[in-house]
Chains A and B, each alone.
Chain A
Amino acid sequence: MKFAVALLLAVSPLAAPAQNQWVLVKSTLTWHITHPMHEVDGASHDAKGKGNCTADGCDFLIAVPVNTFNSGDSNRDLHMLQTVRGAQFPMVIVRTHLPQSAIGSPTIDADLEIQFAGQTVHYSRVPLQRITKGTAIEITGTVPATCSDFKIDRPSFLTVPIRNEIPVTVDATWRPM
C-alpha cells in the first residue's frame, strides 16, 4: 500500500503539468494595411508564448518584439516602428483567459487584452479557430485592431492616410510542456 502511494505521488507531477502548461512553438502574426495605392502585409515569426491552465481556466500570454515585423521594405518597417512608438514600447503583449472547456472547442471566442504602442486595449469575443495536430494545437484568427484604438497617427502617402483598420492575423501552434 505504501509503495502504491509513493508511486502515485512520484508520477503525478509528471502527468499534471503535461496537460496544464502550454508553450508557443511556431507562430506567424501579420498586420495588414490598406491605402488607395497600396495593400501591405508585415509578418513576424518571433513571438514567444506560454499558457498555464488551472481549475479556474487557462491564461495565455504572447509577446512579440515590434521590430521583428517584416513587410519586405526596410524603409516602411522603420516608419512603422516610428509610428507605433516602437523604441519606447518595443513589445506587443497579448493576454487572454479562457475557460478550460474552451481549450477543447474547435472555435474559441477569446477576450484579448493587447498592450501595444503604449496603450492597453481589450477586444471581446474575438473568434479563433482551433485545429488539433497530434499533440499540438494550432490557433488561427484575426484581431480587429485599428490605429485609433492604439492612438496611432495614421501614416499617409501622397497626403492620403492609410485606412484606420489594421487587422492582425494570428497563426499560433502550441504544444503541452
Chain B
Amino acid sequence: MQRKLNQRTHDLKVHQTLGLVTVVPLCAAVIVAGGAKSKRNKADPTAPPIEPGSEAVDLHAALGAATATLYGFTAYYAIRAPRIPGVKPKGAIRLHRDLVWIHAPGMILTPILGGLALSQENAGEKVHGIASAHQYVAWTTVGAYGASIVAVSWPIHLKFWDKK
C-alpha cells in the first residue's frame, strides 16, 4: 500500500510539472496565432486577403504540436497514477477532473481543425466549414486548461509576506 501511495505521488508530481511546462508552448502558440492567419487588406478591402508568412504558420503549428505532445504526456501520468480503493474524489480535485471533458477533446480537435484550415488556405480557399471553428475550439481549450490549473490550486491564500 505504501508503495502504491509513493507511486501515486510520484506520478502526480510528474503530471503537475508537465502540466505547468505545457503552459509555455500553449501560451506561445496563442501569442503567435495572429500571425498565422490571413488578414484583410485594410488599404483595399476589395483585394484578396494577405496570406500569412510560411514561417509564422510553421511556428504556430510547431508550438501547437509541442503543446499537444506535452499534454499527452501530462495526461498519461494522471491516468497511470494508481487509484486507491475506497477513496472517492472530494474537493478541488473533482472540478480539475471534470474539466478534462472539455480540454482533452479540445487538445485533440484543435490541431485537427488547424490542419484542415491550413489545407483550405493552401488550396486558395477561404477557411470554411468545421475548420473555421479552430480558434473557438482553441480558446475554449485554453480556458478550460487554465481553469483546471486554478481549480486544483484552489483555495489560494497568498501569504508571501509572512516570514514567521
Q: How far is the CA of A35 from the CA of B20 in the complex (A)?
A: 19
A74 touches which one: B88, B152, B157 (CB < 8 A)? Answer: B88
The residue of chain B having its C-beta at the shortest distance from the C-beta of A156 within the complex is: B13
Q: Which of B38-46, B90-98, B111-119, B134-142 faces chain A? A: B90-98
B156 within 8 A of A: yes
A-B contacts counted at CB < 8 A amount to 61
List residues of chain A with CB within 8 A of the CB of B8: 78, 82
Confirm or deny: A49 has a beta carbon within 8 angstroms of a beta carbon on chain B: no
Q: Is the CB of B158 within 8 A of A37?
A: yes
Out of A38, A85, A87, which one reaches B155, CB within 8 Å? Answer: A38
Given A82-B6, A87-B5, A38 and B156 touching (CB < 8 A)?
A: yes
Interface of A is mostly: mixed
Residues from chain B with Cβ under 8 Å of A35 in the complex? 159
Interface residues of A in 50-105 (CB under 8 A from B): 71-79, 81-83, 85-88
Of the four ranges (under 10, 10 to 19, 20 to 34, 35 or more), the interface on chain A belongs to 20 to 34
Residue of B nearest to A76 (CB): B91
Q: Which residue of A lies closest to B83 (CB)?
A: A78
A35, B159: Cα distance in complex, Å: 8
**A157 CB within 8 Å of chain B:** yes
Judged by a CB distance under 8 angstroms, whether B89 is at the interface is: yes
Q: List 21 A-B contacts (CB under 8 A).
A: A36-B160, A37-B157, A37-B158, A37-B159, A38-B157, A39-B157, A72-B91, A73-B90, A73-B92, A74-B87, A74-B88, A74-B89, A74-B90, A75-B89, A75-B92, A77-B87, A79-B12, A82-B6, A82-B8, A86-B5, A88-B2
Query: Residues of A at under 8 Å CB distance from B?
Result: 34-39, 71-79, 81-83, 85-88, 157-158
